Amino acid sequence: MSQISAAMVKELRERTGAGMMECKKALTDANGDMEGAIEIMRKSGQAKAVKKAGRIAAEGRIVVATSDDGSRAAIVEVNSETDFVAKDENFVGFADGVAARALEAAPASVEALMEGALEEARLALVAKIGENIQVRRFECLSAAGGIIGSYLHGTRIGVLVEMQGGNADLARDVAMHIAASRPVCVSEEQVPADLLAKEKEIFTAQAAESGKPADIVEKMVVGRIKKYLAEITLVGQPFVKDPDTTVGKLLSAAGATVTRFVRYEVGEGIEKKSEDFAAEVAQAAKGA
């Protein structure tokens, strides 16, 4: 069998608009023949998947799978084109299977996660449902000697929290807080330097507009940065269940620390196509 190179997969993706795993499988089945792979994709049930691959899949669901002892967990985002399909029992079952596989294998990438039976199941589901379905991302957390907290807000927002100390109830409360308050990171030390520099530049320009002396402007900037850091860090935010205390104080009182967290929201960062049905009808009428 011919060796399937990354360049071959890339070329087939560019020519068909299909996903990486579909292209790799088609090339394997065609023994590395590019035209043969394209023909296979057109003839087989994958053809429907190829046609759907270019569509934007910005709906879907977040799924969490947790080990029996609570020390490991996986969070996955699986996308569909419509919210209606995201509620379909076949889609739900597929998404649950992806999360279970991610927890079991902890693969290094989405491509590795989807190798074999899972990718075949995805293609079959695309053919059956008629929408583009993609596994967008996943992450696995493991807390050696600690606790993994999780929280799902419906099916669109999911959070995992890795915690040392505390208990399961606290971990879940912190995960719920993260779902609601969207912190950027755990503490000030983890704030990206470029993000902080950008905000400082903005605050400095705003303070300079006041016309006050330079030393006062500097104090104003320091105060605004301090407030900004409290707003975007987990430990600095007021706890959603008790705004009179911060998450940092809550954790300290319980002798707990959050090592890291993952927050997923369905479709975040995906540019959705804006559709104006009335405009489309008007345009069609004009063309006629």
Look up the pTM and report it.
Answer: 0.76
Structural domain boundaries, residue 27: 6-52
Comparing C-alpha atoms, which of 154, 96, 156, 158 is closest to residue 125?
96
The confidence score (pLDDT) of residue 277 equals 46
Statement to judge: residues 130 and 98 lie in one domain: yes
Burial (CB count <10 Å: 0-12, 13-18, 19+), residue 114: buried
The lowest-confidence range among 40-44, 168-172, 258-262 is 40-44
pLDDT for 53 = 60
Is the pLDDT reported for residue 29 higher than 60?
Answer: yes
Locate tokens 């104003």: which residue?
A: 220
Q: CA quadruple 168, 170, 173, 175: dihedral positive or negative? A: negative
pLDDT in tens, 251-260: 999 999 999 9
More confident call, 254 vs 277: 254
Over 60: is that where the pLDDT of 274 sits? no
Q: What is the CATH number of the domain that holds 213?
A: 1.10.286.20
Spatial separation of the C-alpha atoms in residues 247 and 259, rounded to whole Å = 13
Planar angle of CA 269, 275, 278, nearest 5 degrees: 160
End-of-domain residue from the set 232, 250, 281: 232
| Whole-number pLDDT of residue 181 | 96
Is residue 26 one of the residues assigned to a domain?
yes
**Domain edge (last residue) among 111, 142, 173:** 142
The count of structural domains within the chain is 3
**Tens digit of pLDDT for each residue in 92-108?**
999 999 999 999 998 99
Provide the mean pLDDT of the chain: 87
Tens-digit pLDDT profile for residues 187-213: 999 999 998 888 888 888 888 888 888
pLDDT band of residue 143 (cuts 50, 70, 90) is: confident
Instruction: Report if residue 283 sits inside a domain.
Output: no
CATH number, domain of 27, equals 1.10.8.10
Find the mean pLDDT for residues 160-166: 96
DSSP state of 141: E
* Residue 279 confidence class, pLDDT cut points 50, 70, 90: low
Q: Is residue 287 part of a domain?
A: no
Of 81, 89, 43, the C-alpha closest to 273 is: 81
Q: Given this model, what pLDDT does residue 288 score?
A: 46
Can you read off the two tokens belonging to residue 57?
Answer: 């899949």
Task: List, for residues 231-268, the tens digit of each pLDDT value.
Answer: 999 999 999 999 999 999 999 999 999 999 999 999 98
Q: 86 or 269: which carries more pLDDT confidence?
A: 86
Structure tokens at 20: 């990486």
Mean pLDDT of 23-31: 88
- One domain, residues 59 and 128: yes
pLDDT computed for residue 167 by the predictor: 94
At 14 the pLDDT is 65
